[in-house]
């Protein structure tokens, strides 16, 4: 789920059960830092073929992805630290996007 509360934008990885569980939160932006923030943009969530990884695309650019199978989240600024014990970098790179979504 993507949320922009007027101050920040976050992608939340959720588990749907009897109650929604937040698996991870990935910081996308601070609204004050967004240029042309009054200009509407397209926000999309893409899933891989197996529907185990979701990517947040804003204005044609991948800002974050979450691998539900491995329970690992990645975003461009690698913030905040993982709460689930994910090790290694959380920084989303173009190479990582290609690894998950290359045709």
Asked whether 96 and 65 are in contact (CB, 8 A), the reply is yes
Please give the helix or strand (H or E) that residue 27 lies within, else none.
strand 21-30
**CA atoms of 40 and 24, how far apart (whole Å):** 26
Bridge partners of 45? 56
Which pLDDT tens digit goes with each residue over 70-87? 999 999 999 999 988 898
Residue with tokens 């990885």: 13
Q: What is the pTM of this model?
A: 0.92
Question: Would you kindly state where each structural domain of the chain is located, as residue ranges?
Answer: 2-101
pLDDT at 52: 95
The total of other beta-carbon atoms located within 10 Å of residue 54's CB is 19
Extract the tokens encoding 90: 């959380």
Percent of the chain's residues with pLDDT above 70: 99
Give the residue with greater pLDDT, 63 vs 17: 63
Tell me: pLDDT of 103 over 70.
Answer: no
């Amino acid at each position: 789920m993507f949320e922009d509360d007027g101050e920040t934008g976050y992608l939340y990885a959720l588990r749907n059960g009897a109650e929604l569980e937040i698996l991870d939160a990935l910081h996308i932006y601070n609204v004050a830092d967004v240029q042309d923030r009054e200009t509407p943009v397209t926000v999309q969530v893409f899933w891989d073929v197996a529907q185990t990884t979701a990517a947040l695309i804003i204005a044609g650019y991948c800002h974050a992805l979450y691998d539900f199978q491995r329970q690992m989240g990645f975003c461009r600024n690698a913030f905040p630290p993982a709460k689930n014990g994910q090790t290694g970098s959380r920084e989303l790179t173009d190479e990582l996007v290609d690894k998950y979504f290359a045709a």
